[in-house]
Amino acid sequence: MTAAEQDTRRGLLITALTFVLWGVVPVYWHLLKAVPSVHIIVHRIVWSALLVVGWLLYRTRLQWWRSIAAQPRALGILALSSVAIAFNWSLYIWAINAGHVIEASLGYFINPLVNVLLGVLVLKERLRPL
């Protein structure tokens, strides 16, 4: 088997495992419905922040922080995107815990399509074949 074939096979396996994980996650959140959504969201935010900062410290030391701190606009965009992600997580977890699994799943299915549409219409990006 060539290296390209191995990479393709590995990519397909990782993709399949990702889809399986993504399909199981709503069941996990639903099992936690006795826990208030706010607690789940706070845990998710704290653990995500700790893991990302830890990974960045491990990989780049403090270079990432210096480069962001030197660009106030980048820091603002990072803060705004963090708020958007927290809102997205909050809405998703609330929807699952409130019994809106189908609606939340449909939203997550449609989201990439809307992102591409916004990229084309707002950012004037051009689509290209794969």
In a domain, 56, yes or no: yes
Q: What is the per-residue pLDDT for 104?
A: 86
Q: What is the per-residue pLDDT for 43?
A: 93
Q: Inter-axis angle of helices 72-97 and 101-121, to 10 degrees?
A: 150
Task: Give the range of the structural domain holding residue 34, as residue numbers without chain letter.
Answer: 25-121
Q: What is the per-residue pLDDT for 130?
A: 67
In a domain, 86, yes or no: yes
Mean pLDDT by 10 residues, the chain (130 residues): 89 91 82 87 92 88 81 90 91 88 85 90 88
Residue spans of alpha helices (H) in 1-130: 3-31, 37-60, 63-69, 72-97, 101-121
In a domain, 76, yes or no: yes
Q: What is the per-residue pLDDT for 10?
A: 93
In a domain, 9, yes or no: no
In a domain, 8, yes or no: no
Q: What is the per-residue pLDDT for 80?
A: 94
- The total of structural domains in the chain comes to 1
Does the predicted TM-score (pTM) go above 0.85?
no
In a domain, 63, yes or no: yes
In a domain, 127, yes or no: no
